[in-house]
């Protein structure tokens, strides 16, 4: 089993990613942390709790993280993810709460107590992770790798160069990419190819309560690409389960923190600046058919879990 910390901003695609992680026997989820991103941190943290209740997994601690980016003003993406961040399905009222510790303290405790270095998956802005590294650099050896949804080598979804998670807190992203940690960046280069077709979104509505929930939130998701909707954050979990679906290259990634290109992730692919140094494994392609086939076979398993 792989021990994980998930740092998220649910968010519809985060919600689907977490649904798989919560039900998969391959994973040992040690902690879920919320961050401000698609909606406020109060709402993203509540959404983590709602999904735990939906799947009967209230045993996993949930901690609330940063309310705003390190330096920039916070702007949400409720125009894509709705006011609640998880519209389209009627989740029952919450019966449990976040733990008393904030996300940073909670991560430190989990990492300190871990026998082995752990994987952290981040599918929102990287504010919590950057604060962790700034305030507690001593935990770095306990982080085996960081799997990030975010960035892009080939154009943005907020501006022509910036992807939303990096754009939301570029200063945090900059800290992460300069940290020397083992980073896997799964950005728009692959996530805009990994679609759930409009037909599949309809079909899964009939696949039990989990299918109804996922179909509900995906229908309410105001993000479209061709005949389907991108499942951005789901790719992080898929990568842990099926890395063979992805084509990965080594790159030196720089984050732009100011000016009109702010939030851009630049690869020095001709090695003009970086003297052959690389800081990231970057997913550059995905077998999109394998992705959708895999996703559809996961739903019955999630119902059974
Ligand atoms: C990323 O931005 C968010 O809106 C999604 O949840 C995903 O993490 C895609 O750019
Ligand atoms: Ca997200």
DSSP assignment, residue 200? H
In the chain, how long is the greatest CA-to-CA distance?
55
Low-confidence ranges of the chain (pLDDT < 70): none
Contact between 45 and 84 (Cβ < 8 Å): no
Tell me which residues are annotated as active site. 232
DSSP characters over 107-127:
HHHHHHH-SS-EEEEE-S-SH
- pLDDT (tens digit per residue) in 124-155: 999 999 999 999 999 999 999 999 999 999 99
Q: What is the pLDDT of residue 225?
A: 84
Instruction: Provide the H-helix boundaries in the chain.
Output: 12-23, 41-54, 78-81, 103-113, 127-135, 164-168, 170-177, 188-191, 198-203, 208-220, 234-241, 288-304
Residues sharing a CB contact under 8 Å with residue 152, sequence separation 6 or more, in sequence order:
161, 162, 163, 187, 188, 189, 265
Contact between 36 and 9 (Cβ < 8 Å): yes
149 lines ligand 1 (CB under 6 A): yes
Instruction: Tell me how far the alpha carbon of residue 138 lies from the centroid of ligand 2, in angstroms.
Output: 27
> Is the interface score ipTM higher than 0.95?
yes
45 lines ligand 1 (CB under 6 A): no
Q: What is the pLDDT of residue 28?
A: 97
Angle of helix 12-23 relative to helix 41-54, nearest 10 degrees, comes to 40
Q: Tell the residue number behind the tokens 């907020």, with chain if given.
A: 158
Residues facing 145 on adjacent strands: 119
Hey, how many other C-beta atoms are within 10 angstroms of the C-beta on 186? 29
Q: What is the pLDDT of residue 223?
A: 87
- pLDDT (tens digit per residue) in 60-113: 999 999 999 999 999 999 999 999 999 999 999 999 999 999 999 999 999 999
232 lines ligand 1 (CB under 6 A): yes
pTM beyond cutoff 0.90: yes
3-state secondary structure of 250: strand
Length of the chain: 305
165 lines ligand 1 (CB under 6 A): yes
Q: What is the pLDDT of residue 107?
A: 98
Residues sharing a CB contact under 8 Å with residue 249, sequence separation 6 or more, in sequence order:
281, 282, 284
Atom of ligand 1 nearest to the CA of 124: 8
Q: What is the residue with the minimal CA distance to atom 4 of ligand 1?
A: 38
Instruction: Tell me how far the alpha carbon of residue 26 lies from the centroid of ligand 2, in angstroms.
Output: 22
Look at strands 2-8 and 118-122 and give their pairing.
Answer: parallel
Q: What is the residue with the minimal CA distance to atom 2 of ligand 1?
A: 164
298 lines ligand 1 (CB under 6 A): no
């Amino acid at each position: 089993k792989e021990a994980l910390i998930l740092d998220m901003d649910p968010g519809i695609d985060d919600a689907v990613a977490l649904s798989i992680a919560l039900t998969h026997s391959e994973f040992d989820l040690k902690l879920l942390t919320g961050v401000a991103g698609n909606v406020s941190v109060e709402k993203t943290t509540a959404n983590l709790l709602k999904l735990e209740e939906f799947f009967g997994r209230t045993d996993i601690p949930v901690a609330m993280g940063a309310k705003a980016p390190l330096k920039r003003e916070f702007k949400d993406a409720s125009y894509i993810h709705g006011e609640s961040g998880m519209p389209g399905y009627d989740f029952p009222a919450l019966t449990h709460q976040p733990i008393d510790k904030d996300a940073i303290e909670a991560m430190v405790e989990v990492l300190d107590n871990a026998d082995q270095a752990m994987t952290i998956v981040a599918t929102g802005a990287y504010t919590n992770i950057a604060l962790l590294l700034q305030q507690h650099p001593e935990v770095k050896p306990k982080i085996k790798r960081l799997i990030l949804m975010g960035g892009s080598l080939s154009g943005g979804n907020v501006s022509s160069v910036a992807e939303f998670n990096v754009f939301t807190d570029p200063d945090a992203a900059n800290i992460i990419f300069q940290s020397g940690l083992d980073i896997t960046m799964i950005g728009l280069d692959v996530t805009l190819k990994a679609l759930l077709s409009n037909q599949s979104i309809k079909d899964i509505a009939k696949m039990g309560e989990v299918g109804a929930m996922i179909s509900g939130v995906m229908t309410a998701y105001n993000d479209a690409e061709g005949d389907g909707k991108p499942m951005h954050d789901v790719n992080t979990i898929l990568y842990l389960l099926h890395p063979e679906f992805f084509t990965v290259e080594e790159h030196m990634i720089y984050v732009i923190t100011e000016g009109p290109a702010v939030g851009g992730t630049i690869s020095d692919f001709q090695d003009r600046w970086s003297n052959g140094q690389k800081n990231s494994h970057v997913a550059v392609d995905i077998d999109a058919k394998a992705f959708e086939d895999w996703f559809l076979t996961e739903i019955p398993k999630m119902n059974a879990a």
